Structure 1
Amino acid sequence: MAAPKLIQILILTLFYYSSPSLASQQPTYNVVSFGAKPDGRSDTTKAFLSAWGAACATTAPATIYVPPGRYVLGNAYFTGKSCKNTAITIRIDGTLVAPSDYNALGRSGSWLEFERVAGVSIYGGTLDGRGAKLWSCKNSNSGRSCPKGATSLAFYNSNNIIINGLTSLNSQMFHILVDGCQNAKLMNMRISAPGNSPNTDGIHVQQSTGVTIMNSHIGTGDDCVSIGPGASNLWIENLSCGPGHGISIGSLGWDMQEAGVQNVTVKTATFTGTENGVRMKTWARPSNGVKISYVTYQDIHGTSATQVAVNFDCSKAYPCSGITLDEVNLTYGDKPATASCANAGGTADGVVEPTSCL
């Protein structure tokens, strides 16, 4: 019996020591090797796209590495259409900087765009959208002659996405967009823009399922998280929000035939200096009706920015139903906070202040 035991130990030992060498063979593509200059002036778009092409050409897990420094990028489109790789990690130790002229991106829709990719992970790094000049244009003349602006980082029709430890500053418009995606995890992020910056939503999710947003701080001039049509199975946890408009579902009901929103959970969120906490909003179009039902507000406490701390203003044709208030305690300075209900039905459990109007 001694010989078989000895053979078994030798096999296990050989396997253990061979594993690190296999990991070290995974290719890494440094953008500097493709011509990127981290000087904050040179256009590095071509170098980044070349590194992406090299990583896509292999089927082995690959890393695109961005060393410390400032890298100016124009509109960059990372497509998965011909990409063989479903395990690309982009590790960023530097800062990606938008062009100083906002017109270079303003009408493109997005700055860094990933479409039809699978298994892409982004770790660390900073995106500097340089949006201040465009905001000034929009705020000074109602935006009539200004471009709409670009989303800093957009994922379209993609799956199994991870964004961890990313900082996004001063985006022209949305900071991060998740559209038509499945299974995306966005974690440990810092998203920041001034409170008066227009349309700078932190994260916008639509037509997507299985999206998780965790352990992040978002402060912008618009929604910290906005949720559009077709979003489902969305989990938001341990989020610090402010300044901004809070977390919003909507606006919904713009199109006559529009996918709904379902199974959204917000857990352990803190709102500081925001216009709203959590809200659902629809377009005021009499031809469309949006039915809101089975929404639970549980363990919510703090101070309200307005005396009406709880407001359910629902459609007469499609009244809200199944609303539950459970342990809600909101105050308004030294005045009593109030609740307002129109066409809304539901129940209240535990201590609810202001007194429920359901």
Structure 2
Amino acid sequence: MDFLKILKCTILIFVIFACTIHAQNLSSCVFNVMDYGAVADGLTDSTSAFLKAWEGACGADGAPTLLIPKGAFLVGPLKLKGPCKSPMSVSLKGSLSASTNLDLFSSNWVEFHYIKGLKVAGGGTLDGQGASAWPQNQCPNKSKCHTLPTTLVLAFVEDAKINAIHLMNSKFFHMTVFASKNILLNKLKIKAPADSPNTDGIHIGDVSNITITDTIIGTGDDCVSIGPGSTNVTISNVKCGPGHGISIGSLGKYLNEKDVRGLRVKNCALTGTTNGLRIKTWQNNPSPLVASDIVFENIQMDDVTNPIIIDQKYCPHNFCSDIADAPSNVKIQNVAFRNITGTSASPVAVQLLCSNAVPCEGIELSNVVFKSDKFDLKTQCVNVHGVSDGSMNTASCV
């Protein structure tokens, strides 16, 4: 009997000891920026503290978490680089405000580079404080310009989930994902004024296996823009507006751009945007490329100016007089528009202007129904080969 009591006591002591060590390990894996000198007053520059906390977390074993607690933090450029010893978690509970001193920025604001396994969540906010920088944006008026800082960048990142954070008033793009794979962007809220220049919500390029879902975006440019090299992309349950819609491109401006393949946009809503679903390519491309296997389906639009548009003579701000007669060499094929409904704010609800050098092929319009109280709606097609079926309340040009 005494032996059993001793055994039970020994087991109990061991369990308590093990739990204590486990709790200590969990605590040691949390790297709170406040412990590194960050000040949550919204005025004190806490850049150095954030970088030191990241360095500690990135070098830690186990399951490290960079904790940004509730409060307001002022920070300049944050280059959060890997590779790290372990998958990284960032618990963003507070609000970060970007410095308004542009001299501090050599490129972007918050950048994650070379990381395998990344989670960012917590309901916090990244405020780019872009209003002070927008008057200095010369890109709308110059073909070659110095771009302002993007708020959040993922580059050379693999297996990442960005969940339930807010981005607002970026100086330039709100978020860019580049040269990355296996990325989930979920339940984001992205907001900037409708007249803020080049404040795209999410821009992706040279990525594979990326999903954008359950997200609300209202900005001064594209809600989502899909650049060259994007493959296996799913965009679902996105609410867009104001902004320039959901765009593929522009494509074909630079040498050796990669193809865009395997894009699905579904169950989205666009309200008051200048474009709805758009594919845009430059003329006189230095290298040929292909945009193919694209499906837009179950899309609701309200008061959208160009609901469906393929523009293979894309040229913003009339910088292209020297190539006005040169065709686009971007091949667009196997693109389906299915179950697209709503109201058009212009008389041309469907405009498909394809290249005479490489006409669009395999274009499908199925159950595309737009209404307008102001216009007799029409469709317009140039160099398009495809089919149309189902409900169509305007004469199809396909």
TM-score (norm 2): 0.81
Regions of 4+ moved over 4 Å: 18-24, 139-147
Q: What amino acid does structure 2 have at the position aligned with 1:29?
A: F
Residues 175 and 203 of structure 2 are in contact (CA less than 8 Å); yes or no, is this contact kept in structure 1? Answer: yes
State which of 353, 361, 366 in structure 2 corresponds to 1:321: 361
**1:148 deviation in Å?**
2.2
Tell me, in whole angstroms, the C-alpha distance in 2 between the residues paired with 1:275 and 1:234: 23
Q: 1:139 and 1:115, CA in 2 relative to 1: closer, same or farther beyond 3 A? A: closer
Does 1:74 pair with 2:76?
Answer: yes
Match of 1:98 in 2: 98
Residues 125 and 166 of structure 2 are in contact (CA less than 8 Å); yes or no, is this contact kept in structure 1? Answer: yes
Match of 1:247 in 2: 246
State which of 345, 354, 373 in structure 2 corresponds to 1:305: 345
Match of 1:210 in 2: 209
Residues 33-54 of structure 1 deviation map (CA, whole Å, 9 limit, x = unaligned): 0110011111111111111111
**1:354 deviation in Å?**
1.9
Q: 1:300 and 1:60, CA in 2 relative to 1: closer, same or farther beyond 3 A? A: same
Q: What amino acid does structure 2 have at the position aligned with 1:203?
A: I
Does 1:48 pair with 2:50?
Answer: yes
State which of 383, 386, 389 in structure 2 corresponds to 1:343: 383
The farther-off stretch of 305-314 and 128-137 is 128-137
**1:287 deviation in Å?**
6.8
Tell me, in whole angstroms, the C-alpha distance in 1 between the residues paired with 2:143 and 2:376: 42
Does 1:58 pair with 2:60?
Answer: yes
Tell me, in whole angstroms, the C-alpha distance in 1 between the residues paired with 2:99 and 2:242: 26
Q: 1:125 and 1:330, CA in 2 relative to 1: closer, same or farther beyond 3 A? A: same
Residues 183 and 211 of structure 2 are in contact (CA less than 8 Å); yes or no, is this contact kept in structure 1? Answer: yes
SS at match of 2:73: strand
Match of 1:33 in 2: 35
Q: What amino acid does structure 2 have at the position aligned with 1:298?
A: R
Tell me, in whole angstroms, the C-alpha distance in 2 between the residues paired with 1:111 and 1:154: 8
**1:257 deviation in Å?**
2.3
Q: 1:20 and 1:199, CA in 2 relative to 1: closer, same or farther beyond 3 A? A: farther
Residues 239-276 of structure 1 deviation map (CA, whole Å, 9 limit, x = unaligned): 00000000000000112422011111111110001001
Q: What amino acid does structure 2 have at the position aligned with 1:324?
A: E
Match of 1:199 in 2: 198
Residues 298-353 of structure 1 deviation map (CA, whole Å, 9 limit, x = unaligned): 11100112110001000001000101111110123242210000000111121023
Runs of 5+ consecutive residues of structure 1 not aligned to the other structure: 1-13
Q: What amino acid does structure 1 have at the position aligned with 2:118?
A: V
SS at match of 2:137: helix
Residues 331 and 354 of structure 1 are in contact (CA less than 8 Å); yes or no, is this contact kept in structure 2? Answer: no
Q: 1:357 and 1:331, CA in 2 relative to 1: closer, same or farther beyond 3 A? A: same
Match of 1:157 in 2: 156
- Equivalenced residue count is 340
Tell me, in whole angstroms, the C-alpha distance in 2 between the residues paired with 1:156 and 1:141: 26
SS at match of 1:151: coil
Tell me, in whole angstroms, the C-alpha distance in 1 between the residues paired with 2:152 and 2:255: 29
The farther-off stretch of 191-200 and 138-147 is 138-147
Q: What amino acid does structure 1 have at the position aligned with 2:88?
A: I
SS at match of 2:54: helix
Tell me, in whole angstroms, the C-alpha distance in 1 between the residues paired with 2:387 and 2:129: 47
SS at match of 1:71: strand
Tell me, in whole angstroms, the C-alpha distance in 2 between the residues paired with 1:138 and 1:35: 34
Alignment of 1:215-294 (within 5 A): 215-285=214-284, 286=326, 288-294=328-334
Residues 137 and 143 of structure 1 are in contact (CA less than 8 Å); yes or no, is this contact kept in structure 2? Answer: no
Residues 96-146 of structure 1 deviation map (CA, whole Å, 9 limit, x = unaligned): 1111223433xx221011111111111021001011122123379947998
Residues 283 and 329 of structure 2 are in contact (CA less than 8 Å); yes or no, is this contact kept in structure 1? Answer: no
SS at match of 1:196: coil
Tell me, in whole angstroms, the C-alpha distance in 2 between the residues paired with 1:341 and 1:187: 36
The farther-off stretch of 43-52 and 228-237 is 43-52
Q: What amino acid does structure 2 have at the position aligned with 1:110?
A: N
Residues 204 and 230 of structure 2 are in contact (CA less than 8 Å); yes or no, is this contact kept in structure 1? Answer: yes
Match of 2:370 in 1: 330
Match of 1:4 in 2: none
Tell me, in whole angstroms, the C-alpha distance in 2 between the residues paired with 1:269 and 1:287: 32
Tell me, in whole angstroms, the C-alpha distance in 2 between the residues paired with 1:140 and 1:210: 31
Tell me, in whole angstroms, the C-alpha distance in 2 between the residues paired with 1:40 and 1:147: 28
Residues 102 and 131 of structure 1 are in contact (CA less than 8 Å); yes or no, is this contact kept in structure 2? Answer: no
Residues 256 and 288 of structure 1 are in contact (CA less than 8 Å); yes or no, is this contact kept in structure 2? Answer: no
